[in-house]
Structure 1
Amino acid sequence: MPDPVPHRAEIVVDVAAIRHNVRILKDLVSADGPVQLMTVVKADGYGHGMVESAAAAREAGADWLGVATIDEALALRAAGDRGPLLCWLSAPGDDFAGAVAAGVEVTAYTVAELDEVAAIGGARVQLKVDTGLSRGGAARADWEALFAAAAAHGAAGRVRVSGIWSHFAASDEPAHPANDAQEAAFREALRLAEDAGLDPEVTHLANSAAAILRPSSHFDLVRCGIASYGLDPAPGVSPGIGLRPAMTVRARLVMSKTIHAGDGVSYGHTWVADRDTTVGVVPAGYGEGIPRAAGNTASVWVEDSLRPIRGRVCMDQLVVDLHGELPPAGTEVVLFGPGDLGEPTAQDWAEAVGTISYEIVTRLGGRLVRRHVDSDAVGETADETEGTTR
């Protein structure tokens, strides 16, 4: 990573790692046939920067990009992306017309939603079926009506049904019975769609975990989100395929001091020193998206050593145990990173606070500055944005 910059706390994203991960995933899923890869860049690229992550993914050969909302899709178009792009979450009043005009493929869950898109004319639309996640997508009882309506709109030239898809509920648990049930249900949906006269260009079910663990679910296209950023979608289950975490979160100590046995630390004194020690103040807290639950559970990396967080994480800062040392103000603190040097990873933080790595990286923002670097480039290129990662 580059030398520290004059910011209290920052996110550093290595776009070379994203390219590396996308290439690995593309090679993995296309090994047994012509399976396309969608890199999911929703939620500001899972906290890594949507536009920068999208560009890196395209450079590495991603066939598609995926986002949740029309606003995200239009932002990518405004940034210059012109490749295949799917969005899948809409709400009443969303700008379907703008999406269609920008060449964005939209998703319909219901006949009413499909009718709204068809009224615009010329749309490329994908149909989502609910195969067991019980979230978005057409319920089983509504599949045939949705397919019939789509076929009628297609025959009239109002839409082109370009895809049919669904989403796993438990692909990170390979033995979970929902996986077989959902794949069977999806195959049933495709048969019903064919019976209705639909001939989609792509069908897709697999997310990151299924892309790695369930080749039978690859169909024409897989959607890889978290794995594209180098994080394991099924910790303890996935085989090592060489993914590299792209994000490092770091700060600088603002001070260090000595405390004595019996001294409490931070609000509520949830940690009390059992010996004389030293502590350091790190200028990042839940105002930057650091989990408040990390108090007394997670650790950071200071001067080549793990340093546990002591006491509650505050809005603007947190306190770490320096084990008797007094490093000067300005000393680098790595909250988490790739783990190459022994520093905690996003997965370590997730386990410490009882969540998943997706949430750890995606929730960061607030006053954190985000910089993009390219470890494959000669010299450093950096793009700084502040307050745009939430």
Structure 2
Amino acid sequence: MLSSKQTPSFADNQERDTYAWFSQRAWVEIDLGALSDNIKQLVIFLSPNTQLMAVVKADAYGHGSVTVAQTAIEAGASWLGVATVPEGIQLREAGIKAPILILGATHTPEQIQAIAHWKLQPTLCNPKQAFIFSNTLEAINYNYPLPVHIKLDTGMSRLGTNWQEAADFVQLVQGLPHLHIASIYSHLATADSPDPAIMQVQHRRFEEAVTQIKARGIKIPSLHLANSAATLADPSLHYDMVRAGLAIYGLYPAPHLKNEIQLQTVLQLKARVTHVKTIAAGTGVSYGHQFIAPREMRIAVVGIGYADGVPRSLSHQMEVLIRGQRTPQIGTITMDQLMIDVSSIPDVQEGEIVTLLGEQGAEKITADDWANQLNTISWEILCGFKHRLPRVAVM
């Protein structure tokens, strides 16, 4: 992905179109200005003295982790969150020095040595893992206390030690050599629900665990609980830091949270018309002839398909934007191409831009639109765009 410094400063859309045409048949466009503004808006929205962790796992939800991380830190994020050790290493190799929390589980000696070498910060979930970390650091003569983050399971039933056993676990970790507790955190399972009941139960459990830990005379440097949804839903969940993922990319975790803050969509998905033809009434289109032309039609082939991350199950269900107009996709979406009906748009030519996600004129198609059609979530849509699509950063 291009950095903001490498990205040409386009004077107008025509210059941008020319650049994109020479670079690829299809691409993901990342608006770094929108990303920066989202970060700044979130920082303003947060409770006083609350830091923002920008979650950039899964290649920053498909947006390009290095460029997103650099932009997020410049805009005011204090921390970065990744899922795996290699994701953290990628950011360090790019010269990023901000603290990086590995949100996933790590436990092998090789992972631990890499964490120590690259100055990453792991999540600890149980005593066995804590002992492995301490023993491995002892074996490699690691002479510094490694910051570790204690994960509590308050109701997600995924990673973390049971919240009722938190005090024992934290006390154990505190007594192990080479480990320094940097934070205690948990994750909310239903923060995007309009009904806050389960979230409130998890919040109470987290508070009870923290009370029990403090009762043993243990000082906790930092607490964090809120994801994007909880950040927008309830300021009492902000604590010392929030972990924002979807929100920094300009999408809302749930419809009822849209009025809390004004976010801008960061990602647009675009492709080029590669061929235009006229077909007669009764002509089948694409594999299986699931679409039969009801009349003479003008159709355009677009150079993008399910190998790029456009779900095949959207066949016959989606619309795209061309010349600021909505037009239906027809026929089965294929690996590298899809077809659209341009009968009502005169003189469409090869090379024209088609926007699959994003804006053209007054029209807009979002990842939420696709997710609603497929009965899934926008997170999955964003993470589905394959790496053969270049990420082109614009300001």
**Please, what TM-score do these two structures have when normalized by structure 1?**
0.90
Equivalent residue for 2:4?
none
**Structure 1 stretch 94-103 or stretch 105-114: which is displaced more?**
94-103
CA displacement 1:23-63 (0-9 Å, x = unmatched): 00011013xx2111111111111111101000000111101
Q: 1:196 to 1:319 in 2, by over 3 A?
A: farther
Inter-partner Cα distance in structure 2 for 1:198 and 1:162: 12
Which is richer in helix?
A: 2
Q: Counterparts of 1:99 and 1:249 in 2: how far apart (Å)?
A: 35
Give SS of 1:190's match: helix
Q: Does 1:191 align with 2:211?
A: yes
**C-alpha displacement at 1:240, in angstroms?**
5.2
1:148 Cα deviation (Å)?
A: 2.6
Q: Distance in 2 between matches of 1:177 and 1:271?
A: 47
Q: 1:174 to 1:196 in 2, by over 3 A?
A: farther
Which aligned pairs between 1:67-82 and structure 2 lie closer than 5 A?
67-82=82-97
Percent identical among aligned pairs is 36
1:108-162 Cα shifts (integer Å, max 9, x gaps): 0111111122231521000001111111111345434322311322xxx521101
Q: Are 1:147 and 1:196, in contact at CA under 8 Å, matched by a contact in 2?
A: no
What is the aligned partner in structure 2 of residue 102 from structure 1?
Answer: 118
> Could you tell me how far apart the structure 2 residues matched to 1:195 and 1:29 are?
28
Which residue is equivalent to 1:336? 357
Change (3 A) 1:286 1:129: same
Is the Cα contact below 8 Å between 2:61 and 2:383 reproduced in 1?
yes
Aligned partner of 1:43 in structure 2 is 58
Q: Report the count of equivalent residues.
A: 369
Is the Cα–Cα contact under 8 Å of residues 273 and 349 in structure 2 kept in the other structure? Answer: yes
Maintained 8 Å contact 2:163/2:206: no
Instruction: Tell me, yes or no, if structure 1 residue 34 matches structure 2 residue 49.
Output: yes
Structure 1, residues 328-368: CA drift from partner, whole Å, max 9, x if none?
A: 11111011115763131222222222222211111101421
Tell me, in whole angstroms, the C-alpha distance in 2 between the residues paired with 1:96 and 1:195. Answer: 31
Match of 1:56 among 57, 62, 71: 71
In structure 2, the residue matched to 1:299 is 319
Could you tell me which runs of 5 or more consecutive residues in structure 2 were left unpaired when the two chains were aligned. Answer: 1-12
Indicate the larger mover: 309-318 or 114-123.
114-123
Note if 1:359 corresponds to 2:359. no
> Where do 1:1-390 residues align within 5 Å?
2-4=16-18, 5=20, 6=22, 7-30=24-47, 33-93=48-108, 94-119=110-135, 120=137, 121=142, 122-140=145-163, 142-153=165-176, 157-239=177-259, 241-325=261-345, 326-338=347-359, 341-373=362-394, 375=395
Q: What is the one-letter code of the residue matched to 2:367?
A: A
Residues 1:28 and 1:216: Cα distance change in structure 2 (over 3 Å): same
How far, CA to CA, are the matches of 2:174 and 2:128 in structure 1? 14
TM-superposed CA distance for 1:181, in Å, is 0.8
Q: Deviations over 1:226-262 (max 9, x none)?
A: 1111111213443152211111111110112222333
CA offsets per residue over residues 283-324 of structure 1, 9 Å max, x none? 111111111111111111111111111122111111111134
Q: State how far apart, in whole Å, the 2-side matches of 1:188 and 1:132 are.
A: 13
TM-score (norm 2): 0.89
- C-alpha separation in 2, matches of 1:83 and 1:328: 47
Cα distance in 2 for partners of 1:236, 1:261 equals: 45
Residue 337 of structure 1 aligns to a residue whose secondary structure is strand
Query: Which segments of structure 1 move beyond 6 Å, counting only runs of 4 or more?
Result: none
Whether the 8 Å CA contact 2:194–2:256 is kept in 1: the answer is no
SS at structure 2 position matched to 1:3: helix
Mapped contact 2:174–2:180 kept (Cα < 8 A): no
1: CA distance between counterparts of 2:36 and 2:217? 39
Instruction: State the Cα deviation string for residues 192-213 of structure 1 (Å, max 9, x = none).
Output: 2223443222111100011111
1:300, 1:343 within 8 Å by CA — same for their partners in 2? no
Q: Which runs of 5+ in 1 are unaligned?
A: 376-390
The 1:262–1:176 alpha-carbon spacing in structure 2 relative to 1, beyond 3 Å, is farther
Q: Is the 8 A contact 1:15 1:372 kept in 2?
A: yes
Distance 2:368 2:272 in 1: 22
